[in-house]
Chains A and B, each alone.
Chain A
Amino acid sequence: MNGASVLDFARGPVFEIALAMLIFGIAWRLVGIFALRRPVDYSEPRAGTGWGSGLRMIVSRSWPRREFRERVLHWDIVSYIFHVGYAVAILGYVPHIMLIRNLTGLQWPGLPGGVIAFAAGLSAGALLALLGHRLTSPVLRRLSNFDDYFSWLLAFTPLVTGLMAYYGIGGNYQMVLGLHILAGDILFAWLPFGKIMHVILLAFSRGTTGAAYGRRGAPI
């Protein structure tokens, strides 16, 4: 396949399949969770239904509590560099915005290419640091499985190929761009099936605990 056909392939059928897998997969996973028995708590709440605390915790748990900062904040910051850089690259780059506009009709002003490249570079660097941490920390080595490494690879590849396309590295531009889009497609398709699903689940799990602790009047 030449560059043009890889590009067409990635933009066309693969993208459509990836999008279908993304939507179907998220729905499948959420239905699979919420179709299970719902526990009922008959205890008399101390402080309301807990809904407010649930919503509050969705936001507040984005930053570690004071008690734990000394031990975890540094890696949280690295993780934020990765996540924020990634979000800027996805949502701030004009071609990405055009894609979103075509799909949803929504659009917003883009950022200069240099800013995007900088954000993507920072994000990739942070991702490498996080991998190094995962490989060297005894705790993370103990916890890590296929999903952790595979999801890392699928998150890293679009960043690198995107930067290569932007800077014209790797020869044939169409081929590199095609591979970048293909990497994005695969990431979309994988999202519901691995740990990257936390982008959706995070609000539910935080909210559940926040509500449960909130109705007890316990710290969240």
Chain B
Amino acid sequence: MNTTTLGAGPGAARAPVGDNKQGSLSDAERLDRAMTSFLRDFNTTSALYLEACVHCGQCAEACQYYVQTGDPKYTPIWKVEPIKQAYKRLTGPLAPLYRLFGLKKAVTIEELEQWQELLYDSCTLCGRCTLVCPMGIDIPSLVLAARHGMQEAGLVPDDLWGPTERARREGSPLGATKQVLKERIAWLTDDNNVTIPLDREQADILVTISSVEIMKYPQSITAMARVMNHIGASWTFRSDGYEATNFNMLSGDRTGQREATMRLINAALAINAKTVILPECGHAYQAFRWAGATMYGRPLPFRVVHISEYLAEELRAGRLSLKSDARSMTFHDPCQIARRGGVTEAPREIFRALGADLREMGPTPAGNWCCGGGGGVITIHRADSLRHRVFHLKMQQVEDTGAALLVSSCSNCRLTFDDGQDFFHWDKTAHSLVELVADNLAERH
């Protein structure tokens, strides 16, 4: 029988794989850990959100899981019911009244176990619900807070916990260790006749990678190198800080999230980087661009950009020049980069520079449908059939554009598209924006 270890805290112990529980804690201990985590996470922002909900149910209408199934359990605010219950009963200003009149019952271990599916399998943290909520409640931030408690309690789906634990142990969730990276770069250099700097001691730019790219789309690494070399940037990959994918954030592992973040920060500091470029990975962008400094505890001494932002900047500066590619294309805005990240214009600047016939999906970028694989959902195999169901929405959205080429700027989305393409025998393949740029670099004269 396989065994796993609970990575965080004193409960580290062996437990059988397959029951979607980690560690050998008693139910009471699991509950206690979850509640302690919930209480630790409550702050003015989460309190405002938990107090303001008027139970209007509109978030359901924005959620791909509810829209595709009609099952009310997928109502986004319902997915955070245990943390809401804990807040109202234990922390909120009316908590004594809730307890006195028995209006909020104590959270039970059974509820937490039951909610595992709602917090992990059926939420990609896509944030459409935030945009529809009349109270402006940012539900994904509450889901993440709830996941912190679930991780502490050892109640994470095994399929997600596995890569999370591996990231703590090996520095990469998918086995893209330092050694694997070095080997990959060595053969990519040989096969493609491209210079890929690794471990330079000084460089202006630290370029980071997603493990999905290392393991599944290594051509992305070559593409990044080609583009950076074309621009003439002072850049490097670093074997002590390359992995930008932060699965620990997705499972709710705060310690692991911080460790993964600090590896990148330390690598950037070691080479005196002025800029850190994040790869085509939505959650990497969220974890490092928007949560990185908070993990560090102070502002970062370098700037952080997504690769598409960097390319748009270089286009504007005239250091990146592209050949024309006039094919009809549509662009899938990754939720964490566009809707929740704010990068919406940069990829469109690149399409304009290519002279592409860009056919926008409706709606996008703010209301774009998620690919269905974010938030760690792509790793959870028991959720596959549900994920395929919601992927239908995405397929339809792409088909409606009539574009010949589907492009995105997130390798996790690309992985989800590949899986959906395979499952539905769909004729559309998702392509990488960076690879598209690399394929269309103008000759230098």
Contacts and interface: CB of A to CB of B under 8 A. Distances in A.
B42 to A, nearest CB: 6
Interface residues of A, number: 62
B138 interface: yes
Contacts of A208: 45, 48-49, 136
A141 B43 contact: no
A205 B273 CA distance: 37
A67 B57 CA distance: 16
B103 interface: yes
B10 interface: no
A205 B341 contact: no
Interface string A126-160: 00000000000111111111111000000000000
Given A36-B44, A57-B136, A144-B55, A46 B77 contact: no
A143 B85 CA distance: 12
Contacts of A101: none
A140 B43 contact: no
B75 interface: yes
Interface stretch (A87-95, A181-189, A209-217): A209-217
> B interface, by DSSP: helix, strand, loop or mixed?
loop
Contacts of A61: 133-136
A202 B300 CA distance: 33
B52 A47 contact: no
Contact of A43 (B48, B137, B291): B291
B82 interface: no
Nearest to B344: A219
A39 interface: yes
B274 to A, nearest CB: 13
A197 interface: yes
B366 A67 contact: yes
Interface stretch (B26-34, B86-94, B316-324, B408-416): B86-94
Interface in A43-92: 43-44, 46-47, 57, 61-62, 64-68, 71-72, 75-76, 79
Interface string B133-165: 111111000000000000000000000000000
A143 B341 contact: no
Given A68-B62, A140-B56, 20 more contacts: A28-B93, A32-B94, A33-B47, A36-B47, A38-B43, A38-B44, A43-B294, A44-B299, A44-B304, A65-B131, A67-B363, A68-B58, A140-B55, A142-B73, A143-B55, A193-B97, A202-B135, A204-B52, A209-B138, A212-B138
